[in-house]
Amino acid sequence: MNENEKRVLMVIFGGSGDLAHRKLYPALFELYLKGQLAEHFAVIGTARRPWTHDYFRETVAANLNVGTTVQQQAFVQHFYYQSHDVQDADHYIILKKLIDSLDQEYDLGGNRIFYMAMRPALFGTIAAHLKSEHLLSSAGYNRLIIEKPFGHDYQSALALNEAVISTFARDQVYRIDHYLGKEMIQNIPYLRFDNPVLAAVWNRDYIDNIQITLAERLGVEERGGYYETAGALRDMVQNHIMQIIAMLAMPKPNDFNDAAITAARREVFTHLHQYSAAEVPQKFIRGQYGPSTDGQALGYRQEDKIAPKSNVETFVAGEIRLDLPQWQGVPFYVRTGKRLPLKKTRIDIVFKAAAKNLFGAEKLAEPVLTIEVEPEMRLSWHLNTKEIGQSTAAIPRELVFTLPEREAAQVPDAYERLILDAINGRRSNFVSWQDMAGAWQFVDGIRQVWEQCQCPKFPNYASGTMGPLAAEELLQKTGRTWIFKD
């Protein structure tokens, strides 16, 4: 066994599903190609459908786009399928038999990861059965990975958490937010804390505002059923955007270990400024896409599984504040939406502008540090520099670093990184319960006001545009503007 190789049995609930096939199996295959998984691993996919092992292996192989056919075939031999009704205790007895035999066959040392890639309503039931039917091992480790959505508000998230921690110890639970596995999000603490020059100005004295844009070109596609129960606030703000804010705003961890990083992030989630009911409409706006102006793309209300009069938001923009001395008065402007002109995930850190040009009278541009997360991985700095020639004017210029293609190709997919973290027992890239609770309480405060006040007239932006006008006005009324414009 090579020194990197891990021993693990992974049981995936929702093993026939889209997430497992699109994300989890390709991520495991990457780990296999890199030697992190070799001989001593097995995967059991479970779902209700009556698939055979061979059919399951074919579906797994069909989603692998790298490696040779020989490698793919060798990999999928580690996959097993168990038709399973999560409500039926007898089915866990059958599953246990398979687990025990694979544990022996692959010499896995009792290391088990249970991966919940299905409807959250069933997580508690599954966790309870894992315990009552003795599927947890006493020899190795037992870990539980949970996909979002983790509840649909604070109360339901709390109930879900209670159900899960009645079986698993808190430090066995890994709540996934795949944004935490993205390379450029992981880069943020390095930028902040490994460059004293940036660390020194990363505060209210030098930063005017921070802008986070998570724009998506696609609409809700085939996920209408889920999206109708979620909306953009729950789907993107409660989790991904909040996690990005934590990376941008957390104090420097005392150490590079899980406990210290988790404690630093908690500082942010316990200091989210809660708005009063009167403030919410001033601070958060919502939108829903209609058809594109050329009529080519449908509006949200015309899509599959969407109510014709749905008031679910597909766009959110808002201002988030932190009650921390370092961030007093610094707005974090966030926006996310479906059917915008392009896919773009980026963060703009807008520094304060100098009062005026040293040699002239004109107003200067604010220096902006931009972190582009996707699709390109890129850093850029807009700095004021002298205009060429006899002029005394200052003009902004952009310094750019783009991750070279060769390096970009080596960047692990978010799921690959996070699954390996879970196998290694590294918890700092997962969401703690306190963070989850803080984010839900904040988002619930907005949602409750929205539910009571009159909805803006939907649709209020055309598919393929940058969202409703109100998103621009949100910044304009403070004399600011979104740095990223399509």
Q: Is 16 exposed, middle or buried (0-12, 13-18, 19+ CB in 10 A)?
A: buried
CA distance linking residue 95 with residue 90, whole number of Å:
9
For ligand BG6, the closer CB: 43 or 215: 215
Q: Which is nearer to ligand BG6, 148 or 175 (CB)?
A: 148
Q: 8 or 414: whose CB is closer to ligand BG6?
A: 414
In the complex, what is the shortest distance from the CB of residue 27 to ligand BG6, in angstroms, rounded to a whole number? 13
Tell me which amino acid residue 381 is.
W
**Cβ at position 51, least distance to ligand BG6 in Å:** 26
| Binders of ligand BG6 in range 344-363 (CB under 6 A) | 345
Q: Minimum Å distance from CB 42 to ligand BG6?
A: 28
Nearest approach in angstroms of CB 114 to ligand BG6 is 21
Q: How far is the CB of 12 from ligand BG6 (least distance, A)?
A: 18
Q: 378-407: which residues touch ligand BG6 (CB under 6 A)?
A: none
- Give 216 or 258: the residue with its C-beta nearer to ligand BG6: 216
416 forms part of the interface with ligand BG6 (CB under 6 A): no
Nearer to ligand BG6, 143 or 148 (CB): 148
Give the burial string for 193-232 (b: 16+ CB within 10 Å, else e).
beeeeeeeebeeeebbbbbbbbbbeebbeebbeebbebbb
- Please identify which residue in 103, 183, 235, 319 interacts with ligand BG6, judged by CB under 6 A: 235
CA R_g for the chain: 24
Is 240 catalytic? The answer is yes
Contact, 213 vs 345, CB < 8 A? yes
CB atoms within 10 A of CB 379: 16
Supply the minimum distance, in Å, between the C-beta of residue 184 and ligand BG6.
Answer: 12
The least CB distance from residue 218 to ligand BG6, in Å, is 7
In the complex, minimum distance from the CB of residue 183 to ligand BG6, in angstroms, rounded to a whole number: 12
Smaller CB separation from ligand BG6, 223 or 480: 223
Question: Phi first, then psi: what are they for 279, rounded to 5°?
Answer: -80, -30
Among 21, 91, 178, 240, the active-site one is 240
Helix H or strand E segment including 186: helix 183-193
Q: How far apart are CA 86 and CA 75, in angstroms?
A: 27
115 close to 9: Cβ distance less than 8 angstroms = no
Q: Identify which of residues 217 and 252 has a Cβ nearer to ligand BG6 in the complex.
A: 217
Residue nearest to ligand BG6 (CB): 235
User: What are the φ/ψ torsions at residue 447 (nearest 5 degrees)?
Assistant: -55, -45
Please list every residue from 265 through 294 that binds ligand BG6, using CB under 6 A.
Answer: none
Rounded CA separation 428/418 (Å): 10
Residue 467: left (phi > 0), alpha (psi -120 to 50), or beta? left
Residue 60 CB contacts under 8 Å (≥ 6 apart), including other chains: 21, 25, 45, 76, 79
The torsion angles phi and psi of 17, rounded to 5 degrees, stand at -80, 175
Dihedral, CA atoms, 210, 323, 337, 265, nearest 10 degrees? 90
Direct distance between the N- and C-terminal alpha carbons of the chain, in angstroms, rounded to an integer: 51
Footprint (CB under 6 A) of ligand BG6, residues 427-466: none
Site string for ligand BG6, 203-232 (x = CB under 6 A): -------------x----------------
Dihedral (CA of 266, 270, 273, 278) sign? positive
Q: Is the dihedral of CA 14, 230, 22, 107 positive or negative?
A: negative
| Token pair in block for residue 305 | 């599984």
Least Å distance between CB 343 and ligand BG6?
A: 7
Q: Which DSSP letter does residue 309 get?
A: T
Residue numbers 113-172 binding ligand BG6 by CB under 6 A: 148
Residues 293-352 that bind ligand BG6 (CB under 6 A): 345
Q: Can you tell me the distance from the alpha carbon of 233 to that of 338, in angstroms, rounded to the nearest whole number? A: 12
The helix or strand, by DSSP H or E, that contains position 342, with its residue range, turns out to be none
Active site residues: 240
Q: Which residues bind ligand BG6 (CB under 6 A)?
A: 148, 178, 216, 235, 345
